[in-house]
Amino acid sequence: MDYATSFALIVPELVLTVSGLLLLIIAAFAGEKSSRLVSILAVTAIAAAAFLVAPALINGAGGEPAMAFYGQISADAFAAFAKLLTYFAAIGCLVIAPGFFEHRRAMKPEYPVLVVFATLGMSIMVSATDLMTLYIGLELNSLAAYVLASFLRNDSRSAEAGLKYFVLGALASGILLYGMSLTYGFTGTTSFAGIREAHEAGLSTGALFGLIFVFAGLAFKVSAVPFHMWTPDVYEGAPTPVTTFFATAPKVAAIALTARVALDAFGSQPDAWRQIVIFAALASIVVGALGAIGQNNLKRLLAYSSINNVGFILIGLAAATPAGASAMLFYLAIYVVMSLGSFVAVLMLRNGEGEYLETFDDIAGLSSTRPGIAWCLLILMFSLAGIPPLMGFFAKLEVFRAVVEAGLIPLAVIGIAASVIGAFYYIKFVKVMFFDEAVGRATKSASASQWAILGICTLLISPLGWFLTRGLELMTDTAAAGLFAGV
């Protein structure tokens, strides 16, 4: 394969690279007054990348024709689906950000630039088919994320969130890098295909340790138990648009990367990593649910909700089948919409002075003062709880059906039983908003862009969104087939 063909396969990444560099130049020369322009151009660049990625998903790209740079990157349908989800989330986070930062007089053109570079890193992550490419994409995303977490320089909570994320992220990167070095040492290659071939005869003790360290590092990136400790603090302290970004786009990229590593690099030995994934899945469901029960801060609660939902997604991965991968992607798509809508609703809660509200005490009786936000939150919370006929229910149904078909019936039974715990804190939202005495704190009107995103997300996960299920299932099946085409 020549370089021209390889570059043709990574045109979306090239668009993001060039756009990020040009926007950086504009920001450097035009200063803070260019913030709006840079944000608009960043949205345009990411939308253009999404337009260029879509044909790979539609055509079901996979296997050798989708490989670039001698097997280091795969522009297959699986990567295309994950990229479209990350692009959708990144665009949403860029749209809602200006209002938040302008109120705090902290809107700077560096924010959209950082989001573009983080998105570029995520694009490389989901396409990586080599340990070296994996690490480059991961660190490119992480370096931008560390700065985004501490973007409000005058806010001690934001600075603390950035510091915690950086320290723990560096530790996780070290663990991952050590696992990669062990894997390379015992297989003699960094290629996913080469690692899979080397493990077909079985795993040595050293190779097993390499696998464990790799999955431990990736567990941090997806905020799965027991590597979840950073999530509530970072989600609470980071600016809300940044928290929204962390809960959606990087989550998609990290989970897609974990799935590719598990099913591609270590796909010949699924029993070696399945028990790790099952433990992380069940522990995340239980810890995420129990940890959320006592929370009063809405962002911290949604952080534990994120941990809880990661557990359900990992259940799909544990099946280690095309149906399991498809169910995992289906759940991931619904999760992104639910999380984006939930955080946007929290972002819309402001008092008369324009200050942002983040606690349950602030939303008491919200249905009588801001009924639109209250009813949207009700639908979103019921969907996160998996109550039919909302799309969150169908997402859980797909995951459990995949593991039952794979013969993992005990896992499905335990997962269903554990999911009941999470319903408590989701229903708490409804109780506080609709049955508590109104405090009337959330009185400030929200922007049209915020209402648009909240309305779209609510509509997509409502019963009306069921009509889109067939199309989404076809896309996830195509994406899963693209991943297994090279296995």
DSSP states of 353-378: T--B--BGGGGTTHHHH-HHHHHHHH
Residue pair 252/330 in contact by the 8 Å Cβ criterion:
no
Between helix 391-405 and helix 448-461 the angle, nearest 10°, is 40
**Residue type at 442?**
A
Cα-based angle 408, 414, 416 (whole degrees, multiple of 5): 100
- Which range among 42-51, 286-295, 333-342 shows the weakest confidence by mean pLDDT? 286-295
Look up residue 20 and give its two tokens: 């990020």
pLDDT of 417-426, one tens digit each? 888 887 888 8
For the chain, how are helix, strand and coil distributed in percent, rounded to 5?
A: 80, 0, 20
State the average pLDDT for the chain.
87
Look up residue 455 and give its two tokens: 């309305």
> Distance between CA 13 and CA 86 in Å, rounded?
13
> Distance between CA 166 and CA 76 in Å, rounded?
32
**Is the pLDDT confidence value at 273 over 60?**
yes
The helix/strand/coil state of 68 is: strand
pLDDT of 221-254, one tens digit each? 888 888 888 888 888 888 888 889 888 989 999 9
Contacts of 394 by beta carbon, 8 Å cutoff, 6+ apart: 334, 388, 466, 469
> Distance between CA 229 and CA 287 in Å, rounded?
11
pLDDT band at 486; cut points 50, 70, 90: low
How many other C-beta atoms lie within 10 A of the C-beta of residue 9?
Answer: 21
pLDDT of 109-130, one tens digit each? 888 999 999 999 999 999 999 9
CA 351 to chain centre: 30
Q: What is the pLDDT of residue 487?
A: 57
Closest CA to 239 of 178, 141, 165: 165
